[in-house]
Amino acid sequence: MARFAIGARAWAMCDICACRCRYRDLRGTTVMGRPTGLLVCPRCWDPDHPQNFLPQAVAAAGADAQALEHPRPDTGLEASRRMYPNANWPPFPSTAATRDQPTQFRDPGENATGSNGRSSS
């Protein structure tokens, strides 16, 4: 029967960087949860990335839905490009109705009666 070295005296080479390290410090690498057979040192070891398991996670959750639950009818290209549907915006009257009226400016010193409080002498 063969004798193996115990962990305190066993040395090994990393399969990635080829540096010498203790055999008990080597770790196995995995890709998508499957062991690759490489034994690597703690500096070279990377955990299996969670993104590698996406195909299994998507399959377990079911395929992506392709249809909407409450679809809206297509109103057409013209209706979708109208800025103010049903002419209900802006809420104030258009400027066409007020265009013919002259603009009246008030003097800041003028009171409600129309006089400015100064006596004309």
What is the pTM (predicted TM-score) of this model? 0.43
Q: Where would I find the beta strands (DSSP E) of 1-121?
A: 11-13, 20-22, 27-31, 34-40
Provide the pLDDT for residue 66. Answer: 72
**pLDDT top residue among 74 and 64:** 74
Position 13 confidence tier, pLDDT thresholds 50, 70, 90: very high
| C-alpha to C-alpha distance for 77 and 84, rounded to whole angstroms | 14
Q: Dump pLDDT digits (tens) for 65-107.
A: 677 788 877 777 776 676 665 666 665 655 655 555 555 656 6
Helices (H), 1-121: 54-61, 77-80, 95-98
Poorest-confidence range of 11-15, 80-84, 110-114? 110-114
Asked if omega into 108 is within 30° of 0 (cis), the reply is no
pLDDT at 91: 59
Contact 18, 39 (CB under 8 A): no
Give domain limits for the chain: 9-50
